[in-house]
Amino acid sequence: MSTEPRSTLTNDSLFERARRVIPGGVNSPVRAFRAVGGTPRFIQRAEGAYMIDAEGRRYIDYIGSWGPMILGHGHPAVVEAVQKAVLEGFSFGAPTEREIELAEEILKLVPTMDQVRLVSSGTEACMSALRLARGATGRPKIIKFEGCYHGHADSLLVKAGSGLATFGHPTSAGVPPEVVQHTLVLEYNHIGQIEEAFARDGSQIACVVIEPIAGNMNFVRASVPFMKRVRELCDQHGALLVFDEVMTGFRVGLGSAQGIYAKALPGFAPDISVFGKVIGGGMPLAAFGARRAVMEQLAPLGPVYQAGTLSGNPVATACGLATLKEIQKPGFFEDLAARTRTLLDGLLGAARDNGVPMVGDCEGGMFGFFFTKAGEGLPQNYPTVMATDKERFNTFFHGLLDRGVYLAPALYEAGFVSAAHTARDIDDTVAAARIVLR
């Protein structure tokens, strides 16, 4: 892609310098390119659909800061709102009208919630949502699914135990086994396992937390029959269903993933929903919400404690509000979904023409593809995702990166298209993919 030499800095020299003062040279592990090898690109700036690295090289960006940048980088209306907010003050530690406006906007778009609480990261929102679920039900246990990520709260860093429906093992050092003893890890899309878990522990289960369309094992949808059964089991046993829409929220559609399941299952609703990424437009902002009776369990009204110095930050809320306004414009999601579909079809077509087995899926502005074995369908759970061809993905990733296309640097991550991606960007991406696949 085009180059604009502006700097004597190199990604290699920055990485070396970064590694001296920051563990692994990065402030979030996946940025280190460990899964794909090579040197991470140090980004100097971004505009629209592009990121420009320290060496002045331009990339078509399909990460979008891991989801938030649905309008692309530096959208004028968002920049203006943020600039105005900054001049009014960075943080007050006192309530503002803008927090109400953002809460009202989110609630208008997600009718399954009566109230939301704003926080600063998806991790914080998920952690708080689980505390709320436990506090509201008075029960200790939670169910999560292997391959779903809900941030790095201790009790969520768990992988499945050896036997079916046993409690899990910590996936991180520093998490004592006792801390995860109440976290049950099940296989995604496996109805039999969750039935068994409820049959055994139903009266102890506070909630089931799920990424309805999982974006942390690439792109895997919860099947409609699975979701229907999960809802039924929660209802039968008095457990709450927590939708982690940090990634899917306002990304797969204006109604988020829950809107999609409600179309397939009339009346369907989660009990607690968690949002992040898009609602902050690239600033640190996340939220969790539910019906009033559940939310009123939170401090200062109720016994479930939750707080934050920067919660509802005035600059972040301005950024989020401006972003939510833009995505409600007529045709926004239709256009975004069509562009994403064109990209995915282009990639699948390029693979097919070169005899490379590839499958993929997309919804709204989120997509995923897998290098499978010939004849295999879309992976339905974590083990089948991890059985796809990692070597091939890594070669593809680097081939595209060298040609100015920046995909997420790991096969277990979803991709994101923004409103700033043009038809030309998509064409260029598919053309580059064709060369690499050949």
- Active site positions, annotated: 149, 244, 277
In terms of CB distance, is 214 or 318 closer to ligand PMP?
214
Cβ(247)–Cβ(87) below 8 Å: no
428-429-431 Cα angle (round to 5) = 65
Indicate whether 218 belongs to the interface with ligand PMP (CB under 6 A).
no
CA distances from 403 to 2, 57, 58, 72, 398 (A): 10, 10, 9, 20, 8
360 φ, ψ (degrees, to nearest 5): -165, 170
The interface with ligand PMP within residues 56-85 (CB under 6 A) comprises: 66
Cβ of 93: how many Cβ atoms within 10 Å? 10
Applying CB under 6 A, which part among 110-118, 201-209, 210-218, 227-235 lies near ligand PMP?
A: 210-218
CA distances from 125 to 273, 289, 311 (A): 9, 9, 11
Instruction: Report which secondary-structure segment, H or E, holds 158.
Output: strand 158-159
Indicate whether 415 belongs to the interface with ligand PMP (CB under 6 A).
no
Applying CB under 6 A, which part among 77-85, 131-139, 146-154, 197-205 lies near ligand PMP?
A: 146-154
Among 276, 314, 364, 365, binds ligand PMP (CB under 6 A): 276
Closest residue to ligand PMP, based on beta-carbon distance: 122
- Distance between CA atoms of residues 329 and 251, nearest Å: 14
Cβ(46)–Cβ(52) below 8 Å: yes
Q: Residue length, the chain?
A: 438
- Distance between CA atoms of residues 142 and 236, nearest Å: 16
Among 117, 134, 150, 221, binds ligand PMP (CB under 6 A): 150
Cβ(304)–Cβ(295) below 8 Å: no
Among 42, 149, 219, 393, binds ligand PMP (CB under 6 A): 149
CB of 7 to ligand PMP, least distance (A): 29
Among 96, 123, 155, 258, binds ligand PMP (CB under 6 A): 123
Q: How many residues bind ligand PMP (CB under 6 A)?
A: 16
Applying CB under 6 A, which part among 122-130, 133-141, 379-387, 418-426 lies near ligand PMP?
A: 122-130
In terms of CB distance, is 151 or 168 closer to ligand PMP?
151
- Binding interface with ligand PMP (CB under 6 A): 66, 121-123, 126, 149-151, 211, 215-216, 244, 246-247, 276, 286
